Structure formats: structure tokens, C-alpha cells
Structure 1
Amino acid sequence: MLTRTASQTLTEQLAGRFAERIRARLLAPGARLPSVRECARQHEVSPHTVVAAYDVLLAQGLVEARRQRGFFVRDTLALPVPPAAAGQAPDAGPLPAGSGMHATALIRGMFHQSSRPQPGSGVLPADWIDLPALPAAVRKVAASKAWAKASLQYGEPMGDAGLRALLAHRLAAQHIPATAEQIMTTVGATHALDIVSRTLLKAGDPVLVEEPGWSVEFARLEALGMRVLPVPRRADGPDLDVMARYCQTHAPRLFVSVSVLHNPTGYSLAPGAAHRLLQLAQAFDFHIVEDDTYGHIAPEHATRLTALDGLQRTIYVGGFAKILAPNWRVGYLAAPAPLVERLLDTKLLATLTTPTLLEQALAICMEQGQLRRHAERVRIRLDAARNRSVELARAAGCVFAAEPAGLFGWVDTGVDTDLLAQRMFDDGYLLAPGALFLAGRQASTLMRINFATTQDAAFWSAFSRVRATL
């Protein structure tokens, strides 16, 4: 809540809070600010204070007034950031309503430090993945004479050879026939997806994506100038009838799929649907990128397209941010042999190489079995967390739109979750509203929850209280 102080009036505090949100892109361009009456009620100030604060934002060029519609955020990319605001992490503030809530707003919100578990987070809590073996492995690599010499040069273009050999062994256990020469390390799985897109596509090309799906992928493809074609995701896989119509009409060049423990629904691909999907790719000549980001917590015998296809039309993408070390940014891709050199050229143009120190430390953790044992512990802990979160969500009146599985739950709240997210962020909780996972960003009553961060009854109590006001 705002409090009157000797150094700042309530108007200055309220205007400053909105200004920080806008400059940090937590309030997206085009987002509508709360009405004067609603804002006054939320912050327990007078309407006069809100009008004065909005006038300050108008004077700073951060918002614009639209007659009989309210105040809307302007695009501030070209505006200078005041020195006082530069480098400061924003405190809790409103998120945009409607289509203004977008992927980068969620990402920026995730960087906000909070003592509360964040229901909209995309990663496991820090205490779940604080593995002592990681710093020990880094120290071991850094102390070696070989690394000291290698650090004075660029690393191997394809990535550390030892890590790629271990990754080939891991993929072979999943019946994915990739040699070390077909595997390339990347700066996280998102970088791998970007390499594939930049190599195989050009601006204007149609790309098939799953809907609901990963909001960051929608935004990334749109930023590259691609035509995004949303395919409804069902429990057994993508809607193949819709996909076939797209193929006949638009001739897509690529399909991006999270086939196992799909984000946000938790669905996993059925073998029959996988077989028909590969037939469609063959008939209409497009590639499939299989993003297996959640493979470490997936069932052992989950169906993977790359295993059925044998890396002919498929490209496999994996990473370690969800299970081990989000900030290490170690990812990889495995591709058909004829595509490897083209993909490598794209990687070289973007990053030259990838950090050898972290790749070799990760290889130690894999080789000594520490990663495998850690993943087993996480799966057991996640199963218990999921049971607890599902119980609390249902007690709060939520309905699961998909059978709970994996890290995420896809729940129907019964209210507009863009508005809910705005109100809950004022209480210090970051939500992931359904509009984020829809290519058209239309309003939705659905939201994605992280089972590992929604075991706290206090969150569900706040959720119920806020939802009752909408």
C-alpha cells in the first residue's frame, strides 16, 4: 500500500510505481491502466490522487488518454530511462489487462525477486535444484590444466566433445539415434529453437505451433516475421485435421511441438497420433522441432517423435534449465546429418561458441550419475507437490482443463485471468494468465500454475479473495 511520507506525496508514489512498470515493460505498450475509480479502490487513495498521478504519466509521455476509453501505455522503447530507474528491480505493481499482457512481460516479472512462491513461474524453486555437485564440478574443471589452456581460446564450435558424447548416450537410451557429430550445444533450449528457425525459415514463412502453447515461442516467431498458424493441442496430440487443412492451404515449413509434458497442459503425445503426424510431415514436406524441455521429469517410456522418425524430418531440442541450473543456459539440439553444417553456421554467426567451463562441469555431473539421481529425487518431490496443489486448487473452486501431470497445471478459474493477474500482482503474486498461451492473446478464464510453487494455502486464500471481487 502507498503511505504518505515527508519525501513523497501519494501522487508521486503512485505515478512512480506505474512509471517503473512501464519502463520495465511489465506494462506492455497498448495496455489500459485501471480506471480512476478502480485504481483508487486498489491503492486506497482518493480519485483525485489517481487523476493527478495519471497526469504526471501523461506529462512524462508514458501514457496517452483516449476519449471515453481511459489511459493507455505508450511504446517507450525510444524513451530514455532516468538514471534513478536504471538497474533497479521493480517492486510489485499492476500487470496489463487484455491483450497487452505478453510473453516478455511474464519473463521480466519472473526476474522480480520476491519472498513468496510465484504461481506463474516456469522453473522449479531454487531450494529444489540447489545441488552441491554443481559448484564442485565447476571447481574441478577450473582447476584443471587443460581448461586453463583452453580458456585462452574459443571453444569447440559444436560444443564440448565430452558433453556431446554423453548426450548421444542419453538420447540412445530414449531410442533417438543421434551421434555426437549430430549434436550441437546451445545457450539454452530457447537458443536451440532460434537456431532452427533462423536456419530453416525466412520472413513470411508459415509455421505451425500448438495452441495453447509456449508464449515465448509465439513472440519469438512473430519477431522474426513468421506467420504463426495455431493448431489446437488435444490430450493425444495436435489436432491433425486442422493441421492437414493448414498444410493444404499454407504449405508450412515447420511445426514446433512440446510432445512430452506439454506446456501448459501437461499432455503427452500418444503413439498413434505421433505416427499420423509424421505421415503428414512426409506428405507435405515440413520439418518438426521436438522441444523436450521437460524430458528429465517425464515418464520413462514417453513417446517421442524423434525416436519414431529416427531424426529424418525431426530435430530434437533439450536443455537443463528446468532440472538443474537455470542460469547456466546449457542446451542442445540433435539434427539430421544433412542439416548440421547449416545449423552450425547459424550458431557461429550468433554466439561463435558456447561456454566450455559450464559444459564440462555438466558433463561431470552426468558422468558420475549425479544428474540422474537428482532428477529422480525431483520427480518424487514433484509428485507430492502436484497432489497437494491439485487439492488446494480444487478447494478454491478451480477446475482442471487437463489431467494434472508434470510441472504445470492448466486450470479454469471462472474469471478473466488477465484481470486476475493484475490484481494478484498487486498482492505480490505473479500469475500466468491463459491469454499468454494463445497465439491471438484473446482473454481467457484459464491460467497455468506451477505445481512446485502453489502448495501454499496463503496463495489460494488470496486467490479466492481477489477472484470474488471480479
Structure 2
Amino acid sequence: MALTRTPDQTLTDQLAERFAERIRTRLLPAGAKLPSVRACAHQQGVSAYTVVAAYDKLLAQGLIDARRQRGFFVRDVLQKSPAQSRGDQPSADEELSAVVNPVPPLGMRPTRSSGSLINATSLMRGMFYQASNKPQPGSGVLPVAWLEEARFMPAAVRKITTIETLRAGSLSYGEPLGDSGLRSVLAQRLADINITASPNQIMTTVGATHALDIVSRTVLKAGDPVMVEEPGWSLEYARLDALGMRVLPVPRGPDGPDLDVMAHYCETYAPKLYVSVSVLHNPTGYSLSPGSAHQILQLAERFNFYIVEDDTYGHIAPEHATRLSSLDGLQRTIYVNGFAKILAPNWRIGYAAAPPELVERLLDTKLLSTLTTPSILEKALALCIEQGQLRRHAERMRLRIATARSRSVQLALEAGCQFVAEPSGMFGWVETGVDTDMLAQRMLDEGYLIAPGALFHATRRPCTLMRINFANTLEPQFWRVWKRVVAESQARG
């Protein structure tokens, strides 16, 4: 979106406010480097004088720092240390390479951050930022128009909200583990994918993220090492970091995690937990092979750690996909799922199925965080599952995603993209050839929010990859803009 001089606002003011908004919403995180004066002037179609004046305004507002012979960097506006407010702090690259232990022999770095290394707020706010009314390639959910097809949901709510049901569901806290009817149908749903769990082994939560958080708070304490797949879900790195855990990034390949790295971590750091997305891994789309699953479970048994299996994308997964919880029988595995991706992001219903000896401990943590969960929506969801409506909706979405994926991949290849993982599921993992952190800022100027590859690594560092949502990259216009912006970035070196 080009800057245009108006009677009420100069180009300097507009440019300064554009950067200020992105800093305040964390779309430009602490430590991020702003474009050079010359590059910014070229990108925005303004004079270098305008850029200098805009950067001066940001300096005066305390939003950025000027570092001699290095450029302008976003300040951590939440930090309180006077020393950190000066322009002599470490560079972004130096901050992002900080670790508390020497580099292990296999080259993997267990990370602990302080403050701005992995800022949970920075990573989350982009999910709620609407860059424009255009489809957003970086989005993690299906388009609203697709989800609106689930018309059975409002009908289910109306059906269960009789006066008596509404009274019973509103004037008491409900069942601590969650609505018994929903837990019963979830037990049957798990049986359909060969996971045996009684309703008393299942606990409902406020979404799958809440379930993951409950597991972490139950089985871990601050400073404990946790193995997490890399690339992986940015929120999981940020959440564990915020809890004070030591993140051990495990490279994820087509068949599963790098087992040699996992074994090294087990021998060196004795991790307490391994967090895995076995099926349609985010962002690569990889799914676990039976052979890898067997070896992971052997490591868990040998080194005595739990596995939390996040099956968020299981609703759109191929039949008979390999799941650790199925092979393990919920002995060392904790199965987590939710309905935000396939049904309704704001219903916030998730659940965890756990070994019997862990259930009461997990429930204690749940009670401390949210007491119980809203039973009205849980009862409505149970009805949708019982009547087969959710299953049929998931089948329609699976077919629609497959069609979108085929179209999106074609457009991406025509635009010069390379897929570093076989396209599968909702997301594509794409090589762009340019720094996607910088590309993300340029695409924001065009009204598109993309997901740069740095967000999917345990320590934020320059990356040329990006994740695309196949359902939101169906318009040729996006790819024309993307191709132009990439060419401009490459031309500037």
C-alpha cells in the first residue's frame, strides 16, 4: 500500500506510523533490523530525507535504536534495564545465537532465551493481525467462508440450549474432566484411529494449545530440557521458553525426527518430554513412518521421558496415518487434539488423552488454570460428533484442501517457488531465495501477511523459507505481487 501525501499527514508521519504500528503489534519483533535508509526509500517510493525523518521520529518515541555502522533496530519496548535501552546492546544475530551450553557434538543447540530471543507475544500477535481484506498466505486456519459451511454447529447449540440444559450448564461449574457425553464420544473417536482410551482418561481443555500447556506445567519444572521438532510450531517454542524450559531442537525429516540427535540429547541432557506432530507436521506436511515411530518409543522407554503427540491436523489426515499414541497404547504418550483448524477457531474446545496415572495430575493443573471448561459448547460438539456431522464436514474439507493444494502448488511453481517438502495437508514449505523476514515486511506493504521461516525455528535467525496456507494462496494476484517483490529484493542483493 503506497504512501500518499495528504493535507492531514505528511509522508514522514505516515511512514513512521507504519513502522510504529508493526513494532507495537510485534510484527516487527524486538531486535529486528529496519531496512537501510536507501532500501527503505526505494521500497516506499519516497526520498531518503523522508526516511531519515521517519526514523528520527521512531528514535524519539523510543521504538528503535541506532547502532553505529550497523543500522536501526527495534527496541524491546517491554524491557526495563537502562543498559539495554542504549545503542550498544548485542546485535540481533548475536542475541539469537546465544545459548547457555556449549554446542553439542552433533551441532544442535539447546536454547534458553532471556527476554527477546523468543517472544511469545511477538509470535502470537501476527495470528490476529489483519493486514487487509485479501486472503492471508501466512494464516494458520482455513478461510472463514469454508468454515461457515458447518451450519450444523449453530443448530446443535440451539438444540441443546433448552431452558433446563442452559440452567444446568450455566449455574454450576460442570464436571472437572469435562462434559461426560463429549468424553464418551471422543473415546469412540479415538478408537476409530486405534487409540484405546476410556472416558476417564480424557480431559477437555480450552483448545489444543491449553492442553499442551497443561501437560508442560504438569510434567515439567523450570529449567527442564524438552525435545521439540525443528522446524516446528512457533508458538510451542515460545510457550516453553516463557515457562523457563530448555528447548532441544530436533531436526524433522520426511519420516520423522533425527533419531541420532534425539539419542544424543537423551544421553547428554536427560530430557523429560518430547513434543511431536506425527501427522501432517507443521510447517512441512511430513507424516511419521512406522519405523521411526517404533524407534522413538524405544528411546522413550530406555530414557524414561513422556511424549506429547499433537494431532491438530488429524481431522484432514490420510486414513491409517501412523500415530505414536496408537502404537504405544497411551503408556508414555499423551495425545492432544482440538477442533479449531477444522470446525471453529473460537469454540476453543480441545482435549488430552493420557496414561491413567497422569490423569489426576493433569486435572489438578487444569483446575488451577481454568477450573472447568464451558459445558454448553462441549455438549453441542458431542451432538455434532454423535450424528456424524463433524465426520462428513471433515471429509468435505479434506477434499477441498486437496483441490486447493493442487492449484496453489501450480501457481507457486509458475512463480518460481521450490517446495523443500512434498506438498501435503494444509501447508507448503517453500524456498524463496531471499530473507523472508525482510520479505514479510515488504509483503505487509502490499497487504499480505506471510509466515517467514524464522518463526518455525527455536532461535530466530535469517531464513529463506516461508510457510504458505494452500487455502489462502489460490489467487494469481498474490503470486504476481510475490514474484515482483522477490525480484526487487534480489536486485538489491
Measure the CA separation in 2 of the matches of 1:74 and 1:440.
18
Q: Which residue of 1 aligns with 2:69?
A: 68
Paired with 1:46 and 1:105, the residues of 2 have a C-alpha distance of 30
Amino acid at match of 1:22: I
Structure 1 SS opposite 2:283? coil
- Structure-2 separation of matches of 1:77 and 1:140: 47
Q: Which amino acid aligns with 1:58?
A: L
- Give the deviation of 1:313 after TM superposition: 0.2
Structure 1 partner of 2:184: 165
Judge which range, 110-119 or 202-211, deviates more.
110-119
Partner of 1:31: 32
Shift of 1:314: 0.3
In structure 2, what is the equivalent of residue 125 of structure 1?
Answer: 143
User: How far apart in 2 are the matches of 1:441 and 1:112?
Assistant: 20
2:180 corresponds to which letter in structure 1? A
Aligned mates of 2:410, 2:373 — CA distance in 1: 43
Any idea what SS the aligned residue of 1:198 has? helix
Match of 2:111 in 1: none
Task: Give 1:197's match in structure 2, choosing from 216, 235, 249.
Answer: 216
Deviations 1:175-225 (A, max 9, x none): 111110000001110110000000000111110011111111011111111
Written as runs of structure 1 = structure 2, the 5 A alignment for 1:398-413 is 398-413=417-432
Task: For 2:428 and 2:33, locate their aligned partners in 1 and report how far apart those are by CA, in whole Å.
Answer: 28
**Mapping of residues 106-255 of structure 1, within 5 Å:** 106-113=123-130, 114-130=132-148, 131-255=150-274
1:143 CA displacement? 2.5
Aligned to 1:396: 415
- Single out whichever of 13-22 and 167-176 deviates more from structure 2: 13-22
Partner of 1:13: 14
Aligned equivalent of 1:22: 23
> 1:376-387 to 2 correspondence within 5 Å?
376-387=395-406
For residues 282-301 of structure 1, the aligned pairs below 5 Å read: 282-301=301-320
Corresponding letter in the other structure for 1:203: A
Aligned position for 2:105: none
1:319 equivalent in alignment to 2:338: yes
Letter in 1 for 2:250: V
Q: Count matched residues.
A: 453
Q: Determine if the alignment matches structure 1 residue 462 to structure 2 residue 481.
A: yes
Q: Report Cα offsets for 1:327-380 as digits up to 9, x if no partner.
A: 111100000000001000111111111111111111111111110110010011
Instruction: Tell me which residue corresponds to 1:94.
Output: none
Amino acid at match of 2:485: V
CA distance in 2, matches of 1:117, 1:244: 42
Partners of 2:161 and 2:26 in 1: CA distance: 38
| Residue 353 of structure 2: aligned partner | 334
Q: Does 1:54 align with 2:71?
A: no
Q: How many angstroms apart in 2 are the aligned matches of 1:272 and 1:254? A: 20
Q: Distance in 2 between matches of 1:7 and 1:425?
A: 23
**Superposition pairs of residues 422-441 of structure 1, within 5 angstroms:** 422-441=441-460
- What's the offset of the Cα at 1:103? 5.9
- Letter paired with 1:306: S
State how far apart, in whole Å, the 1-side matches of 2:421 and 2:163 are.
49
* Residue deviations 1:299-341 (CA, integer Å, cap 9, x gap): 1100110010000000000000010000111100000000001
- Comparing 111-120 and 310-319, the one that deviates more: 111-120
Letter in 2 for 1:73: V
Whether the 8 Å contact between 1:106 and 1:432 is mirrored in structure 2 is no
Deviation string for 1:124-153 (max 9, x for gaps)? 111111111111112222234122233011
Question: Quick one: which amino acid aligns to residue 146 of structure 2?
Answer: W
Cα displacement (A) at 1:440: 2.1
Instruction: Indicate how the Cα distance of structure 1 residues 318 and 275 shifts in structure 2: closer, same or farther if over 3 A, else same.
Output: same
Q: Structure 2 CA distance, aligned partners of 1:417 and 1:26?
A: 13
SS of the residue 1:76 aligns to: coil
Post-superposition offset of 1:294? 0.3
Instruction: Measure, in 2, the Cα distance between the counterparts of 1:217 and 1:7.
Output: 43
Query: Aligned partners of 1:12, 1:445: CA distance in 2, in Å?
Result: 31
1:26, 1:108 within 8 Å by CA — same for their partners in 2? yes
1:107 shift after superposition:
3.1
3-state SS of paired residue (1:469): helix
2 CA distance for matches of 1:34 and 1:103? 24
How far apart in 2 are the matches of 1:254 and 1:279?
14
CA distance in 2, matches of 1:448, 1:78: 30
User: Is 2:298 the counterpart of 1:273?
Assistant: no
* Alignment root-mean-square deviation, CA: 1.6
Instruction: Please say if residues 102 and 215 of structure 1, whose CA atoms lie closer than 8 Å, have aligned partners that are also in contact.
Output: no
Gaps of 5+ in 1: 80-96
Q: Distance in 2 between matches of 1:305 and 1:210?
A: 15
**Match for 1:11: what amino acid?**
T
Distance in 1 separating the partners of 2:357 and 2:465: 42
Is this contact kept in 1: 2:26–2:126, CA < 8 A? no
- State the percentage of identical aligned residues: 71
Conserved 8 A contact 2:169-2:376: no
Taking the aligned partners of 2:262 and 2:483, their CA distance within structure 1 comes to 39
TM value normalised by structure 2: 0.89
Match of 1:261 among 271, 280, 300: 280
Distance 1:404 1:102, change over 3 A: farther
CA distance in 2, matches of 1:244, 1:189: 28
Distance 2:120 2:366 in 1: 24
1:302 aligned partner, one-letter code: A
1:111 is aligned with what amino acid? F
Counterparts of 2:24 and 2:161, CA distance in 1:
39
| 2:161 match: secondary structure | helix
Tell me how far 1:110 sits from its aligned partner.
2.7
Secondary structure of 2:488's partner? coil
TM, length-normalised to structure 1? 0.93
Q: Deviation at 1:10?
A: 1.6
